[in-house]
Amino acid sequence: MVREFKIFVPDEKIDLLNKKIDLTRWPDEINDDRWKLGTKKSYLEEAVGTWRNSFDWRKHEAKLNEAGSFKYKTDSGLELHYLHKKSGSRNAIPLLLTHGWPGSVQEFLKVIPLLIKGKEGIEFDVVCPAIPGYGFSDKPKELGMNAKEVAKLENELMLALGYTKYIAQGGDWGSMVSKWIAELFPENCIGLHLNLVIAFPPDGADPMDGVLPEEIEGMKNLEKYQATGYGYFAIQSTKPQTLGYGLNDSPVGLAAWIIEKFHGWANKESGQLVVPLDEVLAIVSLYWYTESITSSARFYYENGPMGFSLNKISQPMAGAIFKNEIARPPKVWADEIYNIIQWNQHPGGHFAALENPEILAEDIFSYAAKLKIQ
């Protein structure tokens, strides 16, 4: 069952947020100009001051509603929140966009208008579901809601909307969910576009065989991430409940946890965020108001060390490879899992739809043109 869902956060929740901020007990800090130990205190104080005194949640709430806010009750009884925007064209291609962590459906607000506007005769009807446990989607009541199960729910949603043939697109967890969709539902998913490509060295072969010199730098991105930025992953994939007690109760703690990722995964050469602070605060606010930081972190536990399938898919696949992405595998590795017809390099980082919506949209249009969909 599909129903319209108007997002509205009660004033009492906004007032409680402000009171919680006012009661913050700030920690000490060793001078850390380069964010080596985590979120820089002076930056966080300024960001939280903006959040408390001038940030306008109602503006962002309105944008979500304008993007077409709905809920779908799945056969299992769990409700998915999703955004749905149509191009108005009879020949529009259904496009399923899946977010990751610490993102949300808000990631796609800048790219949706570009996709439905179209280019050179290609237009999209865009559907952006919130993963269960994220945003306004229901929180799972039992263990077992991993990427494979989410893929099943998202395909169910697309069929309920009348989209029997569609392209799946994603980054971060959305990449893993989209890969599962392509594998499980080849009769429905006609194409796969990823802005984070997951791939591994082929078994029984020299892992460097066929790797291009310029791809070695991308491999170093992952090495650096594992050495200096992997702590959150270890915690969220082993003890997410313990983490939740702190982050669900402290808005400043929550902001620090999320802002660090928008700093480290977007622009490694700068002390500033590439994504505007106002947009990051909107994402932090959504986690706060929906109390979804614990359930979203639990998704790491659900997928374990290897929630990814190595089975090769047959659908045409496109990889949009952004320079500062945390993982940039060589194309020769990806060839083992995907049927690659497009592989483009771009400037930018992990949050492609937020950082570079025009580039991401252009890459999707280019890919769709190659599919020659009738």
Residues that are catalytic:
172, 300, 350
Pair of tokens at residue 324? 């500062």
User: Using CA atoms, how far apart are residues 135 and 228, in angstroms rounded to an integer?
Assistant: 28
Q: Which residues pair with 119 in a beta bridge?
A: 122
Helix, strand or coil for residue 169? strand
User: Using CA atoms, how far apart are residues 331 and 321, in angstroms rounded to an integer?
Assistant: 10
Beta-carbon contacts of residue 69 (< 8 Å; ≥ 6 apart) = 4, 5, 6, 7, 81, 83, 136
The strand order across the sheet containing 124-129 reads: 2-4, 69-73, 79-85, 124-129, 93-98, 166-170, 189-194, 316-322, 339-346
- Chain Cα centroid distance, residue 319: 16
CA angle, 191 then 179 then 102, to 5°: 115
Cα–Cα nearest to 151, from 7, 2, 303: 303
Pair of tokens at residue 192? 């796969």
What are the angstrom distances between the C-alpha of 92 and each of 63, 84, 297, 365?
A: 23, 13, 35, 12
User: Using CA atoms, how far apart are residues 361 and 357, in angstroms rounded to an integer?
Assistant: 6
Q: Which ranges in the chain belong to alpha helices (H)?
A: 11-22, 41-53, 57-66, 112-117, 147-160, 173-184, 213-228, 231-236, 240-247, 251-264, 277-290, 293-303, 331-334, 352-355, 357-371
